[in-house]
Amino acid sequence: MNQDKPLIVQSDGSLLLDVHHSSFEEARGEISAYAELEKSPEHLHTYRLSSLSLWNAASAGWSGGRISTSLRRWSRYEIPESILTWTNDILSRWGKLKLIQNPAPERSDMLLLEVSDPHISEELRNHKSLSTKIIPQGNNFILHLLNRGTVKAALIRLGFPVIDTAPLKDGEALSIELRKVCRNGCALAIRGYQRSAVQAFLGTGEPGTGFGTVVMPCGSGKTVVGMAIMAGLGRRTLILTTNTVAVHQWRDELLDKTDLEEDSIAEYTGSRKQIGSVTIATYQILTWRKDKNSPYPHFDLFRNHPWGLIIYDEVHLLPAPVFRVTAELQSVRRLGLTATLIREDGGESDVFSLVGPKRYDVPWKELEASGWIAEAQCREIRVALPDNLRLPYAMADKRRKIRIAAENPRKIDIAMQLVKNHPEDYILIIGQYISQLEDMAKRLGAPLITGKTPNARREAIYTRFRKGEDRIIVVSKVANFAIDLPDASMAIQLSGAFGSRQEEAQRLGRILRPKQRNSLFCSLVSRGTAEEDFALNRQRFLTEQGYRYTIDLWENE
C-alpha cells in the first residue's frame, strides 16, 4: 500500500481517482487514454475499463504491459489480479482478426478475414448473424467488398475487433496546399498538437492507416487538421457537416487557408446541389427522403464519385442512415472530427468500426494551459420553482416535469441579471424550448436564432456578432454545432437535452476560442427537480476534461 498515490483499482473494473491529490491532473491525463469516465462528484472520479476503451488504446499503441505499468504507477493498493488478467485477455483479441486483400487474383471483389486463433474461427462459424456475410476458408473467411463495414461492426459487437489492412482506393487526384499566409493576411502555422493529429491519421502510409477519428476541443482547430490531411493526401474530398452555416464556414476556411479556388469547392445542400473536387454537404440532405419507406436519393453522392477522402465533421452525431452507407464505403479513406466521442445512444462502437478507431486525443486542459483555447469557468446556478408551479410539477408525468423545470420563469430573471453583471462579455443564451427563448430575446431586445430562422438571416446575425455590432445572441440547439464565434466569452444555458454530455461539450466549445479574457459557462437548473439529475450527467463531461464545476444557490427569490 502507498497512501501517496491517487488511484484505487477495484475488482469490478472501476478506477477511483482522488481529485485532491497533487498528481490528479497527470494521472487523469494518462488514465483517460484507456478508461472511460463514469462519475465525477467532488472528491473521487470514477473511471471504468471497457472493451472499447482498451481497443481504442490498442489502436493508439497501448499494450497490456504498458497499461499494467500505468495502473501500478498510480495505484494506492495492490491491483486485483483479475483486472490485469481481464485487461490482457481483452487486449489479446486485438490483432487476432485482420482484413486483408484476397490473395486469389481472380476474386478481387472479395476480401480475406484472417483469424489467427482456431477457437475464434470456430465461434464465428456458429454465429447465424454472420453466416450470410462470411464464407469459411480453412481457419479464415472470405467476404464481399460490400460487406466489409457490416462485418466489422457485427464482429466488434461480438467482442472481436478487426484490424482492417485491406487496400484503400486512391480516388481522383486533387492539387491542394496549405498557405503560409492566409488570404486575410494572418500567418498560418500548424501547431504542434495539430501536426501530431495529422501524423497520427496519415501514419507512414502503411496498411491499416488512412481512417480513424481525431478528438480535439472545440476552438482548437479541427478544421485546420482536416485541411492539412487533405493536403497530405491530395485526393478528391467529400466533407459532411451538421448544417448549412457550417458548410459555408468550411468553404470560407478552405478559401482562406488553402490554394483552392472557388470553382473547386462545391456545396451540396437543400438549396444548392453541386459536385466538385471538394464537395461540402450536410447530413440532413443526405438523410432526406420522401417517407420512411422511400430510398435515400442523395446517397449516390457517396457512391458515384471518385472520392479519395471523406471527412465526417462532428462525427459523434452521425445519423444511423449515414452509418449504413458508411458501412459500404470502407475502401475510401475516412476521417472523423469531434470534440467528444460520447454518444448517448451507445453508438461509439459503430464510430470505431465504420469510421475508424481513435487516432489522436488531446486533453482540453493541456491546450488551455498552453493558451490554445480559452480558460473557462463552469458554474451551475440552482433556482427554486415559483410557488405556483410546485403543485403542477408534483402532479405532472415525467416528460411534463422536465418541461416545467426547464421553463422555470425565474431563469429569465437570473439570465437578465447575469447579462447586467457582465457588460464586457459577448454572450450566447442557449436553450431547448422556443417559447422560453422568444421571451428571453424579447426581454433583452436581442436577435433570436431557431431552426426556423432562414440561413441567410442566421449568417447575418452571426456576422453582426463577430463584428461586435451585437453583444448578445439568443440561440436554440441549432447553434450547438460547428459555429465559429471567436469572441463569445460567456454562455448562459437555460435548458438542455436531457443531460446530454455531447451537447454540453458543444455548448462549452462555443466560448473556447482564445481571446483576451477568460470564458464563463453558466447553467441554470431548477432546484429539487429532474433537472438536477440531468445536470449531474452533464457535469461528467466537463470534469472529465478537467474543469472545476461550482454549484451556487440563487437566493434572490
Q: CA-to-CA distance for 26 and 5, rounded, in angstroms?
A: 12
* Mean pLDDT calculated for residue range 545-555: 73
Determine the pLDDT at residue 510: 59
User: Same structural domain for residues 292 and 241?
Assistant: yes
User: Same structural domain for residues 110 and 80?
Assistant: no
SS (H, E, C) 90-135: HHHCCCCEEEEECCCHHHCCEEEEEECCHHHHHHHHCCHHHCCCCE
User: Same structural domain for residues 60 and 104?
Assistant: no
Q: CA-to-CA distance for 182 and 259, rounded, in angstroms?
A: 9
The CATH number given to whatever domain includes residue 117 is 3.30.780
Determine the pLDDT at residue 480: 60
Domain total in the chain: 4
DSSP β-bridge partners for residue 187: 181
User: Same structural domain for residues 204 and 227?
Assistant: yes
Determine the pLDDT at residue 556: 57
Is residue 142 situated within a structural domain?
yes
Q: CA-to-CA distance for 33 and 54, rounded, in angstroms?
A: 9
Is residue 446 situated within a structural domain?
yes
- Least confident span in 175-179, 221-225, 357-361: 357-361
In terms of Cα–Cα distance, which of 141, 77, 151 is closest to 112?
A: 141
Q: CA-to-CA distance for 550 and 546, rounded, in angstroms?
A: 13
Do 251 and 280 contact (CB within 8 A), yes or no? Answer: yes
Determine the pLDDT at residue 540: 66
User: Same structural domain for residues 246 and 317?
Assistant: yes
Mean pLDDT taken over the chain = 86
- Kindly give the pairing relationship between strand 44-48 and strand 36-39: antiparallel
Determine the pLDDT at residue 541: 64
> What domain range includes position 84?
7-92
Share of the chain above pLDDT 90, in %: 42
Q: Is the pLDDT of residue 413 over 60?
A: yes
- Helix 530-544 and helix 501-509: axis angle, to 10°? 60
- Helix 244-257 and helix 222-233: axis angle, to 10°? 60
pLDDT band at 538 (very low <50, low <70, confident <90, very high): low
Which range scores top for mean pLDDT: 373-382, 437-446, 452-461? 437-446
DSSP alpha helices (H): ranges in 313-454?
320-328, 348-350, 364-369, 387-395, 398-406, 410-421, 434-444
Is residue 184 situated within a structural domain?
no
User: Same structural domain for residues 147 and 233?
Assistant: no
Length, in residues, of the chain: 557
290 in helix, strand or coil?
coil
Could you tell me if residue 528 is left (phi over 0), alpha (psi between -120 and 50 degrees) or otherwise beta? Answer: left
Is residue 59 situated within a structural domain?
yes
Do 237 and 307 contact (CB within 8 A), yes or no? Answer: yes
Do 44 and 16 contact (CB within 8 A), yes or no? Answer: yes
DSSP β-bridge partners for residue 312: 240, 336
- Least confident span in 11-20, 440-449, 472-481: 472-481
Please state the pTM of the whole predicted model.
Answer: 0.76
Q: How many angstroms separate the Cα of 447 from the Cα of each of 432, 480, 541?
A: 16, 17, 29
Q: How many CB atoms lie within 10 A of CB 26?
A: 13
Is residue 502 situated within a structural domain?
yes
Q: What angle do CA 551, 541, 244 make, to 5 degrees?
A: 115
Determine the pLDDT at residue 70: 96
DSSP 8-state secondary structure symbol assigned to residue 79: P
pLDDT tens by residue, 162-190: 999 888 888 999 999 999 998 878 888 89
pLDDT tens by residue, 116-161: 999 999 999 988 888 888 999 989 999 988 888 889 989 998 999 9
Q: CA-to-CA distance for 54 and 49, rounded, in angstroms?
A: 7
The CATH number given to whatever domain includes residue 377 is 3.40.50.300
* Mean pLDDT calculated for residue range 455-471: 87
294 in helix, strand or coil?
coil
Task: Name the more confident of 482 and 264.
Answer: 264
User: Same structural domain for residues 379 and 446?
Assistant: yes
pLDDT band at 499 (very low <50, low <70, confident <90, very high): very low
- Least confident span in 104-113, 120-129, 229-238, 480-489: 480-489
The values of phi and psi at residue 487, to 5°, are: -90, -5
Is residue 540 situated within a structural domain?
yes
For 164-224, give the DSSP string: E-S-----SB----B-SB-TTS-B----HHHHHHHHHHHTTS-TT-SEEEEE--TTS-HHH
User: Same structural domain for residues 88 and 101?
Assistant: no
pLDDT tens by residue, 306-333: 999 999 998 887 888 888 888 888 889 9
Is residue 374 situated within a structural domain?
yes
Q: What angle do CA 22, 26, 30 make, to 5 degrees?
A: 145
Determine the pLDDT at residue 458: 86
* Mean pLDDT calculated for residue range 436-464: 90
Q: CA-to-CA distance for 350 and 369, rounded, in angstroms?
A: 33
User: Same structural domain for residues 380 and 297?
Assistant: no
User: Same structural domain for residues 106 and 38?
Assistant: no
Could you say which of 92, 119, 138 is where a domain stops? 92
DSSP β-bridge partners for residue 112: 100, 142
Q: CA-to-CA distance for 408 and 397, rounded, in angstroms?
A: 17
Q: Is the pLDDT of residue 381 over 60?
A: yes
Determine the pLDDT at residue 331: 86
Q: CA-to-CA distance for 327 and 311, rounded, in angstroms?
A: 15
SS (H, E, C) 5-16: CCEEECCCCEEE
User: Same structural domain for residues 516 and 378?
Assistant: yes
pLDDT band at 274 (very low <50, low <70, confident <90, very high): very high
Q: Is the pLDDT of residue 359 over 80?
A: yes
Q: CA-to-CA distance for 191 and 197, rounded, in angstroms?
A: 10
Is residue 172 situated within a structural domain?
no
Determine the pLDDT at residue 548: 66
Q: In what side-by-side order are the strands of the sheet with 472-475?
A: 448-449, 472-475, 427-430, 490-493, 519-526, 376-383, 549-553
pLDDT band at 502 (very low <50, low <70, confident <90, very high): low
Q: Is the pLDDT of residue 271 over 50?
A: yes
* Mean pLDDT calculated for residue range 205-213: 76
Q: Which residues contact 232 (CB under 8 A, 6 or more apart)?
A: 198, 202
* Mean pLDDT calculated for residue range 464-489: 78
DSSP 8-state secondary structure symbol assigned to residue 258: B
* Mean pLDDT calculated for residue range 386-390: 92
Q: Is the pLDDT of residue 196 over 70?
A: yes
User: Same structural domain for residues 249 and 377?
Assistant: no
